[in-house]
Amino acid sequence: MSLPLNGVRRSVPPTESAPIRRGSKNPRPDATTTSGPEARVTAVVAEGDIFDAALVALVVSAGYDAAVVEPAQLAALRSPAAILVRSAAMLGFVRRVPALRSIRIIFVGNGVAGFDHIRISPRAPSAEEALQRALATVAGPPAPQSPPAFTNRVRLTDRELEILQTYTLGATLRQTSRAHEIAESTVREHYRRVARRYEEAGRPIGNKAQLLVELMNDGWVRP
């Protein structure tokens, strides 16, 4: 597996693309200012699904700042460390933006003919390590990380986490029940029980995409 990587300048994207920061659920107020020459910001091009947040969380967990950026805002970026794309259509779009021609693109997906990529399916146990190497090559070594300080963390049992991790990371109700050899009603009960705990903690859950985000915020799930 080879990766299309070179060193580039790093700065923070504009307010419209405010990054999701480590240890915080809110973007910083002024994303137009840089955090110095050591700033490491990676733009994750939005595809409009739950994996936008999952990929940002994965980049952040590797020690880098990350932002979900809408395609329409790409031309306004100020030399991000790298741009992460997940589809052939978005790759083509990014490559047609003149202002981004000097920025390195990391393709995380099933590949496009003639373009190196990090394969993530059907089975790719080394994908996370490949992404970390790609980021290190582009943005330099990751910033030192302190142990996360979780506030208002909702507790899960090992069994709840095992089942809900499968469910929130993309499996259907039926696929989850088959994977864990339980009834679909049992999967629903685990979901409802954990969702109720989050509601009691003042963090209501409306669907499994929101549950995935909260599980990642609490450090229970890594994408």
Closest CA to 216 of 208, 75, 134, 187: 208
> Who's near 98: CB < 8 A, 6+ residues apart?
none
**Radius of gyration of the chain, Cα coordinates, nearest whole angstrom:** 18
Residue 219, number of CB atoms within 10 A of its CB? 13
Name the E strands within 142-219: none
The SS3 assignment for 217 reads helix
- Tell me, what's the pLDDT at 67? 85
Buried b vs exposed e over 61-87: b needs ≥16 C-beta within 10 Å? bbbbbbbbbebebbeebeebbbbbbbe
- Tell me, what's the pLDDT at 40? 56
**The residue type at 93:** F
The strand pairing partners of 107, in sequence order, are: 85
Alpha-carbon distance of 3 to 12, in angstroms, equals: 23
**What is the residue-level pLDDT of the chain in tens, covering all 223 positions?**
333 333 223 333 333 333 333 333 333 333 333 343 345 578 999 998 878 888 888 888 788 888 899 999 988 887 788 899 988 889 889 888 888 888 888 888 776 666 677 766 545 567 778 888 888 888 788 877 665 666 788 999 999 999 998 898 888 999 999 999 999 999 999 999 999 999 999 999 989 888 988 888 888 876 5
**Whole-prediction pTM value?**
0.53
Closest CA to 108 of 137, 10, 143, 126: 126
- Tell me, what's the pLDDT at 138? 81
- Tell me, what's the pLDDT at 20? 35
DSSP per residue over 66-107, as a string? EEEE-GGGGGG----SEEEE-SHHHHHHHHT-GGGTTS-EEE
- Tell me, what's the pLDDT at 199? 94
> Who's near 105: CB < 8 A, 6+ residues apart?
4, 82, 83, 84, 85, 91, 94, 95
Alpha-carbon distance of 84 to 89, in angstroms, equals: 13
